[in-house]
Each structure stands twice: as structure tokens, then as C-alpha cells.
A and B are shown apart, each in its own frame.
Chain A
């Protein structure tokens, strides 16, 4: 069911190697687009990321911030294009209940979902749903568990009764006008007969979305692909959406989300910087960046705002944003490798960058790194001299190198602007003249 994939990629604008985005702001490798590569994949034309900063994200140890900060953050995330937000457990955590009420009062237009446990005792599950609806949640994400360990810790709910409970919860929430999603938190460890009976129970009473959950991050991408197709098949021809929520325990949250999104899922749970319990979940910036730039799939999110949002979240969560973080890390547009800087100075930015820096909200930084300066007339120093429109002889070039090396004895790197000054200085004339 592939609907015009690669919509943002202009096939007319292609070379033998790469295909440029319509406006020339980024490229993708032609190899990514080969039919033999994409055979059997179901690439959607657009996907919908759901922001979980205020549910999964808040579960990062030590995160404590005020209700006002949460409200501000939710509005900021909404502004960059998110349409759906999971805001905690409004049915059981009073702070979350108040937060949803306040967001709605203050004119929040995003769809709000609330995590809803289905395994409460006797009538607790009903109360939990009521409370969520009362708070104003439009979407209830019902989460169940049917593994041995899940059953052991909720002994009041017999395992034979789980499908019935799922149906009851779904029906009850739907009757109150909520959009209902369902998934087994421990899907990756659940036996197939239980998967079928649980998901089938939700399908029969009209669930709106089914989730592929890997609550612990132990699935191989092939397992997620298989499960997505399996659940998709259960839904038949209906218009039930498939969502994916995967943890990053082994560094596979991105791979697993992609496996689902190219196998029939079109909703993905995300948190900036991949924050969340344990190793966190799929990172907003990674899946949105990869979908938009590498697959040409629309996400509705402003790409250049991902970095500011990540910076904001890092500050609020009091964590350091790793410099090497994919898509938003400081080092992504900070070049120090001699040959890379040389190529960029000569105008070939795309030799070492995929998207122009402004696409992802960056300013490029070029510098000469300690230990990274190569001698000779083919590297970055030569490229810089060319770019400055200067001509130097071998003796002058050697003097420039020795001056730069001297400087690097005492500092980690020399910014390219400072390197220009040094070159002018060595050549004994002032930039201003």
C-alpha cells in the first residue's frame, strides 16, 4: 500500500550517485532508492509522531519540574508541529490529572492521550478510565500485560479473564467518546495465542489503534517487523492504525521503530533525545530526521526546530546533550578532520554533510583540530588559502604550518576565522588593508 513514497525527493534532480530534495537542501544516496533495496517494504507517505516527553520522558530518574514548566514545554513542542501528546497517567497520578486540565484551560489544541492501566482490581479500571476522561484526555492508551511475570504480579486478574477485560475497557472508554489504543506492554515476550486473543478482543469492540510495544527493548528489528505485519493482518481491511513504542536497551530503538514504520505502522511514540525509563525510547529527532531526509516521508514536524527543542528538554531535565548525538548533537556540524574541512571550504558541503546545517537548525563550525592538521598542499590549509584568494609559495606555506602548529601546542583547536588571521599575519599584511 505504498502511496507515493519519497514525496519530498525530486527524482528529476538526480545525479548518478545522489538524489536531491526538491529545494536542494539535502540529498539521499541513490542506493537507498533501488527497487531491490526496498522490495517488500511498505513505506507510508506520512507518519504521525506522538510526543511522550511528559509521560515516558518524565520517567527519567531525577526529573522534577514544575507544572508551569511542563505547560510551557508542551506548548513549545506543539509549536514545532506535534499533534498528539501522551501526558502521564491522569487516572492515577493527581499531578497529571491537573496538568491535562490546565493545558486544556490554557487553549492547548493538541490531542492529549493518557496512559491507562487495564489491570486494576475489581472496578478500579473503570474509575481509572472515568478519571482520565474527566481530566480531558481525548485518547486513552490502554496497556495490558499477559506474560507470566505480568500475571504473577496482578494475581487478582486471572489470565483467562484478560481478553474480556481488554474488551470491557475498550468498550467502556469508546462509549465515553474516547479514541482508544491498545497494546501489550510485554508483547515481545508474549506467546502468540495470547497475542491473538488479546488484540482480537480489542479489535472486535472497535479499538482505534493497536500498539507494537517493546517495553524492555529486547527485540531484534526482524521480530518487530514480523509482529507489525502479524498485528496488521489481524486487523483485516479495517482502518485500525498501528503504532510503535520501542525501548533502546541495546541501541535498537531507531532500527526497531523503522522496522515497524516500513511494515504497516504509521504512528510512532517519541521523546526528544530518546529520553525515558532505562535507556529511553526512540528519539524524536532521529526517527523524524531519518523519515524526512532518508525516506522522504512527511512527519509534519519543523526539522530546524528539533535541535532547539532538544536543547530545551536537556536543560529542563538537567542532563547534558551528548555532543555526538545523532541529528542534533553539536559535533554534527563541527568539522575538524583535515580532508573534510578542505572539501567544505572548496564548496562541496555535501561531501561530508547530508543536509545543509540550517535544515537542522545548526550553524556550521570549521576548525583545525589538534593532531588533525596534515602537511602538504592538498589539505585544509591549502583550501583555506585558496578560498581567501591568496597565493603562497612553499616557504610561506611552511611558515603558516609552523605558526598553526605552535598555536596548537596550547589549544585544542583553532577556529577557521582565527586561522585566517594567522595566515594574514604570516603573510605580513593586515586583513583591513
Chain B
């Protein structure tokens, strides 16, 4: 028993995306909710799977793994990839050269330390450039904590080192980007001063980095706005947020919304400790919830996630957003009933077909509700059966017996059970 849905009225609640593959709530688009949006014209997704991701303890990648992942990233339209420490780690340099020689379209970013001793930093920049880097992510620190760990470079001398390294990078014809590691913990005046110095000598990109995952979304919004005011509109603002407190996605989106145009992401949110913002969460949120184009081939995101899980030998949680194995499995009676009636959008946001996946409707132990308005009844209707209460009870009983043997039976198995029960019954008559 179902009423037809009034499409016009439905349009006041939700809107469908292209090909009706997903929907978004009208609520997200209200002026009241969008009034502080300040998205950049163009968002650059910088994939860090092969640098930050590789730092997941226990992960060992060989050259072949790196090449396969890089190829897939390029295929789905990722414009930039951080490939490691090409100036300091031999394997990363080799990989970088191989990618360049193969004519990759990816812009290659290399993590490059500038807080090292004497002229080590210069050599590291040189080697990273020699390995084929397009962008150097120069790392320095202005926080008391990290400056204490590099006693050869006192905090007062850091701005000078920043200026020298940016000028040197520029002189080698490569794009300099600056990251204040521990930026979120640096005194605000020092933080702004260091980036001002960098802007004055020609830095092209500056990062807000939260290596400990301790920033709040409001903090991020404030810092992006503050930086934009100081360095002007020609310098890109980039975001790198860790997930120690589950805020990587929130903080990264807050940064983009406030005007950051480059965001670091890792497939599946892997990385050191709790990892950083997950590529799939950022991309799908931007596209579907915020209506922002990313130029990524969205339909391949689940495939990319699986590839990375395989190469890393690390699995995502069962309920991981977007790519978790439970996303298209349904066992709740009411949800199955609604989906069988054709209203997939009642309980799903994206159609499984979009990712080349199948939906799994599972009739499970302890989850089916009594009465004739639930999943079993709708399944019978969809098969064209209009049966008596007595027959219904027969099928229900058989189903319950079946569920004593296993956790759930799928739709095909249920259809067979229904057909068999009704057929046997016919013969008896």
C-alpha cells in the first residue's frame, strides 16, 4: 500500500543530481546557510596517499605499487600528488623520476625540510628538483616546541631561512610552497609574520597545517580569512588537516569554504596516526552537499579506495563513509520496504550503480518486524503475489526457520523461498 509521490512537492525537499544518481537536501542550499560561503573559483586536490598515506605504520610500498596508484590518481583526474621526500628518501626520488620520464600529467609535490643543518637544506631542495618535482612543499617551524628540537636553527633565524629557501627554489624554476609545521600551535603573530616574509620573497602557496588534529573548524575559518588579508589574493592557501579528533573532514571543508584553494587528501583517510582528510569524503561532500565541481571522476572513487586498501594491506572500517563495505547493505525492515517500493533515496544518498556496485537487501535475524506492512509484504507485492494471511504466515515461518541457520538471506534466496513455498502449496491443493 503506497501513495504516489507528488514530484513537485518532493522538489521542495530535495533535488536530484545528474542522471538521478544522487540527491541533496534543499536545506543545504538556503541563503541563510550559504551566506558565509566563500569558495575559491578553482579547487586543487593534492593527493597525499603516496607521502602521508605511506606514513601509516606497517605500510610498505614498492615502486610498482606507487606507479599503479599514481596512474589511477591521474586517471580519475587528480591534478597534483605529493610523492614523498624526493630530496631525502632515495626510493621517492626514483619514483618521481620514473613518473616524470613516463610523461605523467600529475604535478609532483615533494615534502622538503628546510630546518636541517648548515647547507643540508639546500642540497635537499636541489635533489628534489633534480628528481623532477614541480612544487616543493618547504617545511619549517616557528613553534617553541618544534624549534626546541632543531637547536641548530634558532627561532629568530627561521624567517631568514624561509626567505632563502623560497628564493633558491624559485631560482631553480620550481614552485615554492611553504608549510609551517605545527602552524596551528604557533603564536598568531609569528605565524602571520612568517607567511608575510614568504609572500614578500615570492612564495606561491602557503599551508595551514594541523599535524596533531587539534584545530576546530572555527579556528580554521578564522586563520584562512586572516591569511588572505595578509598575503593577498595571488597566493594560494592550502589545507592539511589530521584526524586525531575526527575533525579532518570538517576542518578541510571549513578551509575551502573560507577560500583555501588547495587541499591535501589521502584515499581512505590513511596517514600518520589517525590520518588526514579522506579524498572520498572531501570530494563527495564538495560535489553533493556543497554543489562545488572538483573535476574528479566520481564514479571511480570506490575502485580507487579498494586499490589503495590492497596496495597498503590496510582495510577501511565496515562503516567507513562513502567507501565502507556496509554502505549499500540494508537489513533494517523499514528501509528494505521503502527501497523495494522504488524510493531508494529514502535511505541512500548515492545510488550504488554510480560506483558500479550492487545494493544488497538482506532479510536478517532479529531485524524483521511483525505485521503486513514491512519488507516481506512489499517483496511479495513486487513479485505480483496477493496472498492470504494464512499463506503469508507460512512464508514467514519458513523464512524464520531459514534464519535460524544463517544471519540473513538475500533477495534471490527469498524469492526462491517464496516461489517454492507457494508452489508446494499449489500442488497440495
Where the two chains meet, the residues of A that have a C-beta atom closer than 8 Å to any C-beta of B are: 15-18, 28-32, 34, 36-38, 41, 58-62, 64, 92-93, 95, 121, 147-153, 155-156, 188-191, 216-223, 226-227, 248-252, 254-255, 258, 273-280, 283, 286-287, 289-290, 293-295, 319-327, 329, 331-337, 339-340, 342-343, 346, 348, 350-354, 367, 369-372, 374, 376, 378, 412-413
Within 8 A of A (CB), among B259-299: 269-275, 278, 281, 284-285, 288-290
Contact partner of B247 (CB less than 8 A), chosen from A255, A372, A412, is A255
Nearest CB in chain B to that of A256: its residue: B250
A residues less than 8 Å from B120 (CB atoms): 376
Contact partner of A31 (CB less than 8 A), chosen from B150, B211, B223, is B223
Do A250 and B321 contact each other (CB < 8 Å), given the known contacts A371-B54, A378-B150? yes
Q: CA–CA, A320 to B313, complex, Å?
A: 14
24 A-B pairs in the complex with CB atoms less than 8 angstroms apart: A17-B187, A29-B215, A31-B188, A59-B367, A60-B318, A149-B346, A155-B1, A155-B3, A188-B27, A220-B33, A223-B25, A223-B28, A251-B269, A252-B289, A255-B247, A278-B348, A279-B320, A290-B245, A324-B274, A327-B274, A331-B275, A335-B273, A351-B145, A370-B60
Report yes or no: B149 in contact with A332, Cβ–Cβ below 8 A: no
> Which segment of B96-104, B156-164, B195-203, B327-335 sits at the interface?
B327-335
Nearest CB in chain B to that of A290: its residue: B245
A residues less than 8 Å from B245 (CB atoms): 254, 286, 289-290, 293-294, 326-327, 354
Q: CA–CA, A150 to B10, complex, Å?
A: 11
Report yes or no: B343 in contact with A249, Cβ–Cβ below 8 A: no
Do A218 and B3 contact each other (CB < 8 Å), given the known contacts A149-B343, A324-B273, A378-B116? no
Report yes or no: A34 in contact with B281, Cβ–Cβ below 8 A: no
Which of A58, A61, A152, A295 has most chain B Cβ within 10 Å? A61
Q: Smallest distance from the beta carbon of A197 to chain B beta carbons, Å?
A: 15
Q: CA–CA, A37 to B254, complex, Å?
A: 13
Q: CA–CA, A92 to B58, complex, Å?
A: 47
Q: CA–CA, A60 to B60, complex, Å?
A: 32
Report yes or no: B57 in contact with A334, Cβ–Cβ below 8 A: yes
Q: CA–CA, A219 to B26, complex, Å?
A: 10
Report yes or no: A226 in contact with B33, Cβ–Cβ below 8 A: yes
- B349 near A: Cβ within 8 Å? yes
Do A222 and B36 contact each other (CB < 8 Å), given the known contacts A64-B365, A279-B327, A324-B269? yes
Interface string of B5-44 (1 = CB under 8 A from A): 1100110111000000001111110101110100000000
- B381 near A: Cβ within 8 Å? no
Do A34 and B219 contact each other (CB < 8 Å), given the known contacts A59-B332, A189-B27? yes
Contact partner of B10 (CB less than 8 A), chosen from A41, A149, A319, is A149
A residues less than 8 Å from B127 (CB atoms): none
> Which segment of B73-81, B130-138, B178-186, B416-424 sits at the interface?
B178-186
Q: Smallest distance from the beta carbon of A55 to chain B beta carbons, Å?
A: 11
Report yes or no: A151 in contact with B214, Cβ–Cβ below 8 A: no
Q: Smallest distance from the beta carbon of A342 to chain B beta carbons, Å?
A: 7
Q: CA–CA, A336 to B313, complex, Å?
A: 17
- B253 near A: Cβ within 8 Å? yes
Contact partner of A412 (CB less than 8 A), chosen from B58, B215, B246, is B58
Q: Smallest distance from the beta carbon of A177 to chain B beta carbons, Å?
A: 27
Report yes or no: A251 in contact with B281, Cβ–Cβ below 8 A: yes
Contact partner of A325 (CB less than 8 A), chosen from B23, B32, B274, B365, is B274
Report yes or no: B317 in contact with A322, Cβ–Cβ below 8 A: yes
B residues less than 8 Å from A217 (CB atoms): 321, 349
Report yes or no: B214 in contact with A250, Cβ–Cβ below 8 A: no
Which of B6, B57, B349 has most chain A Cβ within 10 Å? B57
Do A152 and B2 contact each other (CB < 8 Å), given the known contacts A277-B335, A324-B243, A371-B60? yes
Q: Beyond A17-B143, A62-B407: 12 further Cβ-contacts under 8 Å?
A: A30-B188, A62-B331, A92-B370, A152-B3, A153-B338, A218-B25, A219-B25, A222-B36, A273-B319, A332-B274, A378-B117, A378-B152
Contact partner of B215 (CB less than 8 A), chosen from A32, A60, A283, A320, is A32
Report yes or no: B285 in contact with A250, Cβ–Cβ below 8 A: yes
B residues less than 8 Å from A190 (CB atoms): 13
Q: CA–CA, A340 to B149, complex, Å?
A: 10
Within 8 A of A (CB), among B294-331: 314-322, 324, 326-327, 329-331
A residues less than 8 Å from B5 (CB atoms): 148-149, 152
Nearest CB in chain A to that of B55: its residue: A337
Report yes or no: A251 in contact with B285, Cβ–Cβ below 8 A: yes
A residues less than 8 Å from B373 (CB atoms): 121
Do A61 and B364 contact each other (CB < 8 Å), given the known contacts A28-B214, A258-B217, A275-B319? yes
Report yes or no: B186 in contact with A17, Cβ–Cβ below 8 A: yes
Nearest CB in chain A to that of B284: its residue: A250
Q: Smallest distance from the beta carbon of B62 to chain A beta carbons, Å?
A: 10
Nearest CB in chain A to that of B90: its residue: A371
Q: CA–CA, A121 to B371, complex, Å?
A: 11
Q: Smallest distance from the beta carbon of B335 to chain A beta carbons, Å?
A: 7
Report yes or no: B213 in contact with A354, Cβ–Cβ below 8 A: yes
Report yes or no: B273 in contact with A332, Cβ–Cβ below 8 A: yes
Nearest CB in chain B to that of A214: its residue: B25
Q: CA–CA, A273 to B332, complex, Å?
A: 20
B residues less than 8 Å from A371 (CB atoms): 54, 60, 89, 91
Contact partner of B338 (CB less than 8 A), chosen from A149, A250, A339, is A149
B residues less than 8 Å from A324 (CB atoms): 56, 243, 269-271, 273-275, 314
- B345 near A: Cβ within 8 Å? yes
Q: Which 7 A-B pairs have the closest CB atoms?
A: A255-B250, A286-B246, A251-B281, A254-B246, A251-B321, A326-B246, A280-B319
Nearest CB in chain B to that of A323: its residue: B314
A residues less than 8 Å from B351 (CB atoms): none
Q: CA–CA, A304 to B80, complex, Å?
A: 40
Q: Smallest distance from the beta carbon of A321 to chain B beta carbons, Å?
A: 8
